[in-house]
């Protein structure tokens, strides 16, 4: 039924204007050429995600991940823009300077302006 259908993430925002500045100014993303009431669609590498206004509470898990070739280089660029990476020390997940190593790759997590947890993943 849903196989072959387009799938995209939706991320909640308390303040859509503040969120748009984060995604555009800090992450360097561009809006898709689609007008959607109550939100903004961003497009990156053929993928889309929707940021929308809501008062709903945020989850405590990763909402979306960006696949990158060089996690350290991406982190340097994002830190230069003011993005702060999370540090974790829990069973199954320990970061060192924001980076966790796992079998086959590395990961790093940060929060957007609205408290959503986003990740960089290098495979």
- DSSP for residue 71: H
Q: Is residue 1 part of a domain?
A: no
Q: Is residue 35 part of a domain?
A: yes
* Total number of domains in the chain: 1
Q: Is residue 110 part of a domain?
A: yes
Q: Is residue 23 part of a domain?
A: yes
Task: Identify whether the C-beta of residue 14 lies closer than 8 Å to the C-beta of residue 116.
Answer: no
CATH number at residue 96: 3.10.180.10
- The parent domain of residue 106 ranges over 9-54+62-122
Q: Is residue 4 part of a domain?
A: no
Instruction: Kindly give the confidence (pLDDT) of every residue in the chain, 123 residues in length, as a single tens digit, with 9 standing for 90 and above.
Output: 778 877 889 999 999 999 999 999 999 999 998 878 889 999 999 899 999 999 887 778 899 999 999 999 999 999 999 999 999 998 888 999 999 998 889 999 999 999 999 999 999
- The pLDDT score that the predictor gives to residue 38 is 87
Q: Is residue 3 part of a domain?
A: no
Q: Is residue 2 part of a domain?
A: no
Distance, in Å, from the CA atom of 114 to the CA atom of 14, rounded to the nearest integer, reads 6
């Amino acid at each position: 039924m849903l196989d072959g259908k387009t799938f995209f993430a939706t991320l909640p925002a308390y303040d859509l204007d503040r969120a748009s500045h984060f995604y555009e100014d800090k992450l360097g993303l561009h809006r898709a050429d689609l007008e959607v009431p109550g939100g903004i669609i961003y497009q990156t590498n053929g993928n889309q995600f929707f940021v929308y206004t809501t008062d709903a509470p945020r989850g405590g898990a990763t909402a979306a991940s960006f696949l990158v070739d060089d996690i350290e280089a991406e982190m340097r660029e994002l830190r230069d823009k003011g993005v702060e990476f999370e540090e974790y020390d829990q069973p199954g997940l320990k970061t060192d300077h924001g980076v966790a190593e796992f079998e086959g790759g590395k990961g790093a997590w940060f929060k957007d302006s609205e408290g959503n947890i986003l990740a960089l993943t290098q495979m």
